[in-house]
A and B are shown apart, each in its own frame.
Chain A
Amino acid sequence: MNGHLDAYQSLAETVDRDEPRWAFGSSVTASGIVDTPVEIMMPVPTGAVPGDLAGYCQMLGDDALVCGHRVSEWVSNAPELEEEVALANIALDLLGQARALLARGGFVEGAGRDEDALAFWRDQAQFRNVALAELSDRLDFAHAVARLLVFSSWRFAIMRRLRNSTDPAIAAVAVTAGKELAYHRDYAVRWTLRLGDGTEESHRRMQAALDAVWPYVEELFRTSELERRLIQVGVAIDPSETRTEVSAVLDEVLAAATLSRPAVLAVGTLAGRGGRQGVHTEALGHLLAEMQSLARQHPGATW
């Protein structure tokens, strides 16, 4: 009996806290102050064009937001509770990276858009993520593992380099992101080994998943014009420089898992334009329709 009373008491206390719970991303306090980390509001590094920096933050943030949303689709669908918890954790890490990066992008843009505005009120052509992030795995676990293996190996290499970015917010995010992505990569590696070197059926399906994901690997190493400009001022890193490291990691894992590196053609660009320029696959539209629907139906909702 007392236990129940205590439980109700603590619920009441939760409601009593002086700040309403924001239903979506950014936290607005009762006094209207947004709790923004100090680094997010630091000045644009010398030599960088604010619009470029905003765009770069969107690229890095959209990769995490969109891929994180895909991973989160496994919540209530995973084969075992442990995997569900693991995938939810990974999605939460990616969401955390996305929030900080989009908040930074919105701040340096200076048009009054916060992380919520960027996540929920942009349309498909305004997203800057790579196609790999938006691919649907159709709730095939091997596909989820294959996408996560490639994505986390690549993003890990990117974030390790960005720890030295001249942009204080990107550098700060990169430090924590690197630690998180090492765990994500580990998780994907272990499942790749287990499925690849498992039964005939698990091997066949893991190989099929790699074959499906592989055409989207090439885009990860393309350097956009915007990135080229920001490399000059030390804000960005060149993604093409991560190719050797990422390939070595993937080759080592595939060999140990008795899987072969798919010999498939890379998905091409549309007159040189790809995800970084806002050209996306159909999959992103479906993802955004679901991810954005609540925020668009109930703008500014609190609970």
Chain B
Amino acid sequence: MVSDPRPDVFSVVASVIDPELPVLTLGDLGVIRAVEIVGGPGEDCVVVTITPTYPGCPAHEVIRADLRASLVKAGYPRVRVRTVLSPAWSTDWISEQGRRKLAEAGIAPPGQIGACPRGTVPLTLAPHPLDVRCPRCDEPRTEELSAFGPTPCTALRRCSSCREPFEYLRER
């Protein structure tokens, strides 16, 4: 029995870089639902199942292409990428390591939202009392500059202590 010289298929998939937030890998982001190898030796095909972070996100197309390219480069020429919508991706799926990497890159990580509330989301007329700390100086008092930041998943905030603006990955 000759061992497979190719790198482990799951680690190849998990280490693909997210095009929108390049400090994160797909593993950190939590979008990989399954990695399977189907078919016999010489005919084997890698089937990767992923959940889009945002169904309208243009990065989803790039992620699929990058997955395929990385697997081909690692010696897996036959690749199929499946997309599932349900269960929907949530920022709760970002790993602890991913949250650390985001903060180190100056992007405030999202808070935990837990199970999706079943009732109606209450209307909030006041600014959101969010507990978002400054990723640079850890100051808890920060203000929102714009609810929609430079990428579909971020908002723009500013620290009241160091006055630096920073991106914040919105809960979803």
Q: A residues engaging B (CB < 8 A)?
A: 17-19, 21, 27, 35-40, 82, 85-86, 88-90, 92-97, 99-100, 156-157, 160, 168-169, 171-173, 175-176, 178-180, 182-183, 185-187, 189-190, 193, 245, 249, 252-253, 256
Contact = CB atoms under 8 A, between A and B. Distances in A.
A153 to B, nearest CB: 9
A38 B88 contact: no
Interface stretch (B1-9, B76-84, B97-105): B76-84
B137 interface: no
Given A93-B152, A99-B55, A245 B120 contact: yes
Given A86-B146, A93-B56, A245-B120, A35 B125 contact: no
| Nearest 3 A/B pairs, CB to CB | A96-B56, A86-B148, A172-B85
Interface in B42-63: 52, 54-58, 61
A187 to B, nearest CB: 6
Secondary structure of the A contact surface, majority rule: helix
> Most B CB atoms within 10 A — which of A35, A189, A249?
A35
Given A96-B55, A186-B124, A253-B125, A37 B84 contact: yes
Interface of B: 52, 54-58, 61, 64-66, 68-69, 72, 81-89, 116, 120-121, 123-125, 145-150, 152, 156, 170, 172
A88 B123 CA distance: 23
Contacts of A40: 85
Given A17-B69, A89-B152, A253-B125, A39 B147 contact: no
A90 B88 CA distance: 19
B125 A252 contact: yes
A27 B61 CA distance: 8
Given A18-B65, A18-B69, A187-B147, A39 B84 contact: yes
12 contacts: A18-B72, A38-B82, A82-B146, A85-B149, A92-B54, A96-B54, A97-B56, A176-B54, A176-B55, A182-B121, A189-B123, A189-B124
